Structure formats: structure tokens, C-alpha cells
């Protein structure tokens, strides 16, 4: 599928405890996005709940969804109704005692096009994800849809150039990062700014290194010890910002992607031609002592 | 060697045809840098000549230096005299018909600490480097000096996250990019801005991904079809700009690096802990068809 351009919508929202209320609000925002003409709508990480990983609580495993279930059906139905490709994010229950942080891609006919299980799992104070999520075992494979190959990665993956590169080598057309990242309120303003800038910069760098558009979708709102910093954005193949949201507001960020850019930019910046693959094998090492 | 802080100087200059005049000017700038207290002085790519790769001219091979020779001796002597670590960049003649684009690191006692041969070689209109330089065969190895392990890479290498990562896995303390990059005057201002921003962004991203300070040293001046865009800079371990030069002026950019930052930042952003090395082997592939 070769598109010349693609209108996308990134839905940046806050969440509350009630799952049904979250889903209801999200569905209203998805409808608005579709009315604006978006053909691809992407949601933030774990959008049906609060960011529950701030504490290690056994009962939180009740929040997990099997695929398919009522939750996924709601989103499949709305994708079909609106004829959009939709990226949702779930706490996936794979079997008893085995859970993943999973992005699901639903095609415009309502079918599940594929899933991506978060490969890099963080674990830091207030982000206790290694307790909840087993690291993904599906690799870095773009998901084929009617609008192209979607290189969906999730949050912590965004700090790893390897993930973006592998999606590229597997022929992704776009890189997409559903995210839940925020500030620790006890940090000073300079540190907060450095962190947010670093987060934007590294994702723009994946666009540049691979000549692919990048979409990043983050939540807003204060939950427990985290002030989620929003700043969802779309950038083009040279890392240039197309649209960016602010740090506080719920927003449907609409952006037009020029899907002819990758071909053009890779001709002037032919990085894929020049990779020294004969010298990269140590990338599979932890460290070289 | 564990330093708490390191004062560095990046020498951004223009060049002319006369090699001796270039070297004389550079040595004066190095002396000024040392007077300012710099312990590490880094020069731009191919600083003893004009950027000769704009055309494929057989006679240009006469510009190459064997290591050691009179040219390298001049820089070894000045490093010893000023007790600085000095990074120079050469068109290296390895033997008849075999040439490299090589960075040489000279320690503060005047000895050659090591060399790095540019691994990724560009070839684009006005940058015909594949004609002149054989790709490096020394790998991505930091060079040990009295002030730390210097991860020296050269220009085109800066677009490849793999290069920065491999220097990191080999225990680099700083990443350093001698560079010769500029604008094509026929591009419009928006394209020029995108290119310069992409160049800054991707290098800042290497700082972020690896929690290492990054130094980038570029030339200024108009030569043939290239308007070299300067903007030499030093950034910290979260990609924050410490100092940046402008696009036109010759300048000795002095920056203080906090060498305790890597340890601190890797504790809050433990990317090296979480790399999925079990899933990275396809990074050694050209493309996955």
C-alpha cells in the first residue's frame, strides 16, 4: 500500500480509576478524530486505567484484559464503524500468571491486524513495570495494515535506538510510541526540562536515523507521584516537529504525514547504504569488559 | 582515571589551501585554548586542508600524511609542550594506494595514544569520500588516555546510533565527532534549518541513549559548493547543550564537562540494564526482505 499522505490523530488524555468511563471518553475522542479526517488514530499507553505500576499491588492483575474480550471488541467495533486504523494499548493477560504490556493494531475493517508486546521493560521508583509485565517475545516486527506497516513500540522502547532500527530493517513505514511518562514533582524545573527535552530528542533521532515519521502519544494529568507531561507529537523524516501538544491539556493532535518523504530523504541521506554490518556484532553483547 | 570534571576546547575554524598556514593558525588556537585551561583540545575533520572531497582529483592523494610524519610531529610536540590531550584529524596514507580518514589522539606527554579510522564513509554530490577513503578496519574502540577513554568517531559516523553504542559498550567516557558538514547553497532556508537541526539532534541523542557527554567540532567558511555550518557544540549526558558556536565565526569553544554525570544518569535511566540483546542479532543484517 503506497500512500502519498496520511492524516493521523494522537489522542492525549487524562485517565481516572473507572475503566468504563475511560473507555467512554476515549471513544468520544476517537469519533472526533475521525470526523477531522484522521485515517490512523493512536492512543496512549494503558489508556483504560490509571498508570497502576506506581505500586506493586497483587490485585492490580485484575485490570488485565485477555485478547479478544469485551474491551478489545469495543475498539474493534469503533474502528470498523469509523473506517480507521486504530492503535490501542492493553495490560494483556496471556494466561494465568503471565502478563504483557501490549499494543494492539486494529485495521479499518475492525479486524485485529496484529499485536506488539513491549520488549524493553523499565523498573524504577514509581514505574514498577518488571513486576507486572513479562518482556515481549514477538520481536520488533511492524504490523501490516491497509495504510502501511506500523512500527509500534511502547514507551521505554523509545530510549533504545536498536528498537527503531530493527523496525526499520523489517520495513516499517512509521514509528509509533504509545507512552506514559511524567515528572517526579520533587525534581527542580531544570531537571524536568532536561528530561522532557531528552525524551523528545531521542524520538526525533529515531526519525532522523531511519528517515521515518515518528508519532509519540503521552498521557496528561497528575496521578499519585507522577505528573504526566503530555507533549505528544508527530515529526517528519528529518526529525522536524509537525505538531506538538502541551503538558497539561487533553487534546486530539491532528497531523498530516507526507509518506513520500522517506524515499526522498533516504536518497540524500543514504544511511541504510552505509551501515557497517560487518562490524556490528558486538551490539548483541551486554558490555565488553 | 576518574576525573570529576574536564575542561575541553573545540576549535572551530576555516581553512585555506596552504597546509602550513592552516597548521600555523590551528597551533595558535590550540595555545589559546590551553591558556584558557583546556585539558582536552579537539580539532575539526581534515583541518590541515580545504575539504578536498568535493571533487575526485587524483592529485589530491598528495595531501595525505603518513603516521608519523612532520605534520603529526608538530601536533605531538605542541600537546607535550602544553600538557594537553589533543585530537587531530588526518588524511592518512597507510601505504601506496590505501588511504583512510583518520583521527589521531595524542596524549599530554606527546605520545600517540591511538588512532581511529572513520568506519562509515559517505558518498554524495560534493562529498565524494568513497573515492578517497577506505572504510576503517579498527572497529569502534575508544582510545585510552590520561584523561579517560575517548570514543572518537568522525563526521558521517554521527548518523549511526550503532557507532555510539559500540563505543559505549567498549567503555568510552566521552563521544567526540570531528566533522566537516555544510549546506548546499541551492537549498532553501527551511531545508537548511532542518538539516542543521537533524545533525544536532542525532548527536544529542547519542548522549542521551548512552549517558555520555558528546563533543562535535565542525568547520566554518565557504569552500567551493559547501557553506560549512559550524555550530560546534558540547552537550551533557541528557543531551543538554552546554555550549554551542554559531554558523560563521571561528571560535575556541570552551566547555566544562561534569564527568560524574554518567554514573548519576545511568542510575535514573538504566538503559544499559534493559537492552534486549537476545533480540538484537538482526542489527547485523542489511535489510530483512
Domains and CATH numbers, chain A: 5-271 (3.60.110.10)
Answer yes or no: are the C-beta atoms of A148 and A174 closer than 8 Å: yes
CB atoms inside a 10 Å sphere around CB A194: 19
Contact between chains at B279 and A166 (C-beta distance less than 8 A): yes
Q: What is the largest CA-CA distance in chain A?
A: 56
Pairing verdict, β B251-258 and B5-12? antiparallel
Burial class (CB in 10 A: 0-12, 13-18, 19+), B149: middle
Cell output for A203: 524520538
Contact between chains at A287 and B272 (C-beta distance less than 8 A): yes
Size of interface A-B (CB pairs under 8 A): 162
Query: For B131-144, what is each residue's pLDDT tens digit?
Result: 999 999 999 999 99
Query: For B127-179, what is each residue's pLDDT tens digit?
Result: 999 999 999 999 999 999 999 999 999 999 999 999 999 999 999 999 999 99
- Shortest CA distance from A168: residue in chain B: B287
Helix axes B19-35, B70-82, angle to 10 degrees: 10
- Per DSSP, the three-state class of A184 is coil
- CA distances to A110, B120, B129, B136, B192 from B123, rounded to whole Å, are 46, 10, 5, 15, 19
So what's the pLDDT on residue B158? 98
Interface test with A, best of B171, B175, B195, B198 (most A CBs within 10 A): B198
| List A15, A25, A45, A76, catalytic entry | A45
Contact between chains at B198 and A238 (C-beta distance less than 8 A): yes
So what's the pLDDT on residue A1? 58
**For A274, how many CA atoms within 13 A lie in the half-sphere containing its CB?**
27
As a whole number of angstroms, the distance between CA B193 and CA A234 comes to 18
Q: Please state the ipTM of this predicted complex.
A: 0.98
Contact between chains at A162 and B238 (C-beta distance less than 8 A): no
pLDDT at B252 over 90: yes
Query: For A15-24, what is each residue's pLDDT tens digit?
Result: 999 999 999 9
Residue A284: which of B197, B204, B281 has the nearest Cβ? B281
- Residue A279: list chain B partners with CB under 8 A: 119, 139-140, 166
Closest residue by Cα to residue B286 from A210, A149, A169, A240: A169
Contact between chains at B209 and A195 (C-beta distance less than 8 A): no
Closest residue by Cα to residue A254 from A4, A30, A80, A75: A30
- Give the CA angle between residues A22, A25, A29 to the nearest 5°: 135
So what's the pLDDT on residue B1? 58
- Verify whether residue A118 is a known catalytic residue: yes
DSSP state of B56: -
As a whole number of angstroms, the distance between CA B34 and CA B227 comes to 29
- Shortest CA distance from B119: residue in chain A: A276
Cell output for B217: 567540532
Interface test with B, best of A162, A175, A195 (most B CBs within 10 A): A162
Contact between chains at A271 and B159 (C-beta distance less than 8 A): yes
Contact between chains at A274 and B240 (C-beta distance less than 8 A): no
- CA distances to B54, B55, B184, B225, B226 from B125, rounded to whole Å, are 8, 9, 10, 10, 11
- Residue B160: list chain A partners with CB under 8 A: 209, 271, 274-276
Cell output for B204: 544529542
Is-cis flag, bond preceding B88, omega within 30? Answer: no
Averaged confidence pLDDT in chain A: 98
Chain B: nearest CA to A86, how far in angstroms? 26
Chain B: nearest CA to A103, how far in angstroms? 18
- Shortest CA distance from A206: residue in chain B: B202
Burial class (CB in 10 A: 0-12, 13-18, 19+), A144: middle
Place of cell 558486538: A282
Answer yes or no: are the C-beta atoms of A12 and A243 closer than 8 Å: no
- CA distances to A143, A177, A186 from A166, rounded to whole Å, are 13, 15, 36
Alpha helices by DSSP H, listed for B42-175, are: 70-82, 129-132, 161-169
Answer yes or no: are the C-beta atoms of B38 and B82 closer than 8 Å: no
Closest residue by Cα to residue B140 from A253, A173, A275: A275
Higher local confidence (pLDDT), B215 or A225: B215
Which residues of B are part of the catalytic machinery? 45, 118, 155
Query: For B65-114, what is each residue's pLDDT tens digit?
Result: 999 999 999 999 999 999 999 999 999 999 999 999 999 999 999 999 99
- Per DSSP, the three-state class of B87 is strand
So what's the pLDDT on residue B276? 98
So what's the pLDDT on residue B131? 98
Residue A170: which of B271, B274, B288 has the nearest Cβ? B288
Answer yes or no: are the C-beta atoms of B249 and B220 closer than 8 Å: yes
- Shortest CA distance from B196: residue in chain A: A238
Residue A162: which of B122, B239, B275 has the nearest Cβ? B275
Beta bridge partners of B256: B7
Answer yes or no: are the C-beta atoms of B177 and B157 closer than 8 Å: yes
**Mean pLDDT, rounded, for A270-285:** 98
- Shortest CA distance from B166: residue in chain A: A283
CA dihedral A22, A23, A24, A29 (to 10 degrees): 90
Q: Residue A89's Cα: distance from chain center in Å?
A: 8
- CA distances to A190, A234, B46, B49, B82 from B22, rounded to whole Å, are 41, 44, 10, 7, 19
Chain B: nearest CA to A273, how far in angstroms? 8
Phi, psi of B218, deg, nearest 5: -125, 155
As a whole number of angstroms, the distance between CA A262 and CA A260 comes to 6
So what's the pLDDT on residue B246? 97
**Mean pLDDT, rounded, for A45-55:** 98
* A29-58: b (≥16 Cβ within 10 Å) or e: bbeebbeeebbbbbbbbbbbbbbbbbeeee
CA dihedral A128, A129, A132, A135 (to 10 degrees): -150
Phi, psi of A24, deg, nearest 5: -60, -45
Query: For A142-167, what is each residue's pLDDT tens digit?
Result: 999 999 999 999 999 999 999 999 99
Interface test with A, best of B121, B127, B284 (most A CBs within 10 A): B284
- Shortest CA distance from B156: residue in chain A: A271
Answer yes or no: are the C-beta atoms of B165 and A161 closer than 8 Å: yes
As a whole number of angstroms, the distance between CA B154 and CA B166 comes to 14
Contact between chains at A165 and B162 (C-beta distance less than 8 A): yes
Q: B2 pLDDT band (50/70/90 cuts)?
A: confident
Query: For B15-74, what is each residue's pLDDT tens digit?
Result: 999 999 999 999 999 999 999 999 999 999 999 999 999 999 999 999 999 999 999 999
Burial class (CB in 10 A: 0-12, 13-18, 19+), A225: middle
CB atoms inside a 10 Å sphere around CB A14: 18
pLDDT at B257 over 80: yes
Amino acid at each position: 500500500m503506497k500512500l502519498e499522505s496520511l492524516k493521523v490523530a494522537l489522542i492525549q488524555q487524562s485517565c481516572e480509576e473507572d475503566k468504563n468511563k475511560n473507555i467512554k471518553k476515549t471513544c468520544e475522542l476517537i469519533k472526533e478524530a475521525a470526523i477531522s479526517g484522521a485515517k490512523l488514530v493512536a492512543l496512549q499507553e494503558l489508556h483504560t486505567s490509571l498508570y497502576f505500576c506506581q505500586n506493586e499491588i497483587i490485585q492490580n492483575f485484575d485490570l488485565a484484559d485477555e485478547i479478544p474480550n469485551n474491551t478489545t471488541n469495543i475498539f474493534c467495533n469503533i474502528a470498523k464503524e469509523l473506517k480507521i486504523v486504530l492503535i490501542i494499548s492493553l495490560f494483556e493477560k496471556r494466561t494465568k500468571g503471565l502478563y504483557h504490556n501490549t499494543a494492539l493494531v486494529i485495521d479499518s475493517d475492525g479486524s485485529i491486524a496484529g499485536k506488539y508486546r513491549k520488549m524493553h521493560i523499565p523498573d524504577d521508583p514509581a514505574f514498577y513495570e518488571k513486576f507486572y509485565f513479562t518482556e515481549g517475545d514477538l520481536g520488533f516486527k511492524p504490523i501490516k495494515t491497509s495504510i502501511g506497516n506500523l512500527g509500534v513500540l511502547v514507551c521505554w522502547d523509545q530510549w533504545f535506538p536498536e528498537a527503531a532500527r530493527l523496525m526499520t530493517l523489517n520495513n516499517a513505514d512509521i514509528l509509533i510510541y504509545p507512552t506514559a511518562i511524567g515528572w517526579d514533582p520533587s525534581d527542580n524545573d531544570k531537571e524536568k526540562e532536561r528530561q522532557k527535552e531528552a525524551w523528545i530528542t531521542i524520538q526525533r533521532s529515531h526519525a532522523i536515523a531511519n528517515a521515518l515519521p515518528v508519532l509519540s502519544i503521552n498521557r496528561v494529568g497528575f496521578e499519585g507521584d507522577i505528573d504526566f507531561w503530555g507533549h505528544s507529537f508527530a515529526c517528519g523524516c528529518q526529525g522536524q516537529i509537525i505538531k506538538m501538544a502541551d503538558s497539561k491539556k487533553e487534546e486530539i493532535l491532528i497531523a498530516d504525514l507526507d509518506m513520500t518523504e522517506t524515499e526522498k530523504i533516504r536518497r540524500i541521506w543514504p544511511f541504510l547504504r552505509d551501515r557497517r554490518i560487518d562490524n556490528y556484532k558486538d551490539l548483541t553483547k551486554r558490555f565488553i569488559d
